[in-house]
Structure 1
Amino acid sequence: MTTLYDFTIKNIENEEYDLSGLRGVVVLIVNIVSKPGVYDQELGSLEVLYEYYQNKNFVVIGVPCNQFGGQETFTAEEIVRNCNDHHKLTFPLTAKLEVNGENEHPMFKWLKECSPGILGAKKIEGNMEKFLINAEGQLIGRYHFLTPLEYLYQDLDNIL
C-alpha cells in the first residue's frame, strides 16, 4: 500500500526531502498562495493551527502553487519573504509545485486518488485545499478550501 513515506518532495530551498522522515508525525498538506492580501486570513488560521498542535507530533506543509488564477507568480525567495515577513508563517514550505494536470507532483496524484473531491472530482478545485495524513502515512481526510477549520480541529483532537 502506498503511503506518504513513498514520496520525496523539494523544499523551498529546492533541496530534495524524503517524506519518510515524517514517520510518526501527523501531516497536513495545503496548497497555498503567499501573495499578500489574497489569503491572509486563511494563512493566519493555518499558522494558529500549526502552533496549537506542533508539540503533539503535527506539522503543516505549505505547497505553493500557481495553477489557480496565476496568484503565485513569485520566486522561491519572494515566497519565503511573503510567508515570513507578511504572513508570519513558521511551518515548512515546499518548492512551487503543480497539483493538477500533466506535470502534477506524484504525491498529489496519490492524494487525489485516495480521496476524490466533491462529487468524486479527481482534481483540486482551488488554493487552500487540505489533506490530512495520519502518523502511519495514510491519507485520512480531504478538506475543500471552503471547509471551516473547526472540522480540522475536531479531527486532529481525535487522532493526536
Structure 2
Amino acid sequence: MSIYAYSAKTIKGEEISLGEFKEKVLLIVNTASKCGFTPQYKELQQLYDEYYPRGFEVLGFPCNQFGSQEPGTEDEIAAFCERNYGVTFPMFAKVDVNGENTHPLFKYLKSQAKGVLGSEAIKWNFTKFLVDRNGQVVGRFASNVSSLKLKEEIEKLLVV
C-alpha cells in the first residue's frame, strides 16, 4: 500500500489520483489561511521552488477543523494563497484530517506516521508528512517545525 492508492479533489474541483505524483518526493500538509502558522506558506513555496526541478512536490490540503481557521471557499483560499504567498504548488479542496469524515489519504498518512506518544490524531494546522519516491510515508512533523528544517531530509530522499 502507498499514497498512490488514493485520490483527492484539487482546489479547482478536479478529482486526481495521487499516482500522478509517482516517483516524486512529497511534503503533504494540512493548511489554513487564518492560523498563526499561515506564514509557513512562504517556507513551503521556497522548498517547492528550490526542489521541484529535482522531483519534489508540496501538496496543500486546507482544513477548517482547528479553530475554524480555514472558513473560506476553495476559490477564496486559492486567491489568498496566490496573493499573499505566491503559492504555485498543488492545492486541494478542503478536507477533514480527524474525525468520522477524515479524508482517506489522511487516515492512511496518520496510520503510517504516528504523532506524539503514538497518537494518530493531527493536533493542528500545518502538520507535515514527508513521502518518498515510492509513495511511502517516512516522517511526520508538527506544526511548529519549520518546513525549512526539513531540507536535509528532503535532499536525502531526492538523491535516491
Query: TM tier, shorter chain?
Result: over 0.9
| Contact map agreement 2:23 2:55 (CA 8 A) in 1 | yes
Q: Work out the number of aligned pairs and report it.
A: 158
* Counterpart residue number, 2:154: 156
Letter in 2 for 1:155: E
Letter in 1 for 2:147: L
1:39 CA displacement: 3.4
* Structure 1 residues 114-129: aligned runs within 5 Å: 114-129=112-127
* Counterpart residue number, 2:41: 43
Cα distance between partner residues in 2 of 1:22 and 1:149: 20
Residue from 87, 95, 108 that aligns with 2:85: 87
After TM superposition, what 4+ stretches of structure 1 lie above 4 angstroms from structure 2?
Answer: none
State TM-score, norm by structure 2: 0.94
Question: Is 1:30 equivalent to 2:42 in the alignment?
Answer: no
| Contact map agreement 2:31 2:38 (CA 8 A) in 1 | no
1:12 CA displacement: 0.3
Cα distance between partner residues in 1 of 2:112 and 2:41: 25
| Contact map agreement 1:40 1:87 (CA 8 A) in 2 | no
Cα distance between partner residues in 2 of 1:111 and 1:73: 24
Q: Identify unmatched segments of 5+ residues in structure 1.
A: none
Cα distance between partner residues in 1 of 2:13 and 2:77: 13
1:73-107 deviation line (CA, Å, top 9, x unaligned): 00011001101111211111000000000000011
Report the RMSD for the aligned CA atoms in angstroms. 1.2
Cα distance between partner residues in 2 of 1:158 and 1:132: 12
| Contact map agreement 2:29 2:126 (CA 8 A) in 1 | yes
* Counterpart residue number, 1:4: 3
Cα distance between partner residues in 1 of 2:37 and 2:106: 21
1:2-42 deviation line (CA, Å, top 9, x unaligned): 1010001000011100111111111110000123x743421
Cα distance between partner residues in 2 of 1:73 and 1:136: 34
1:12 is paired with a residue whose SS is: coil
* Counterpart residue number, 1:145: 143
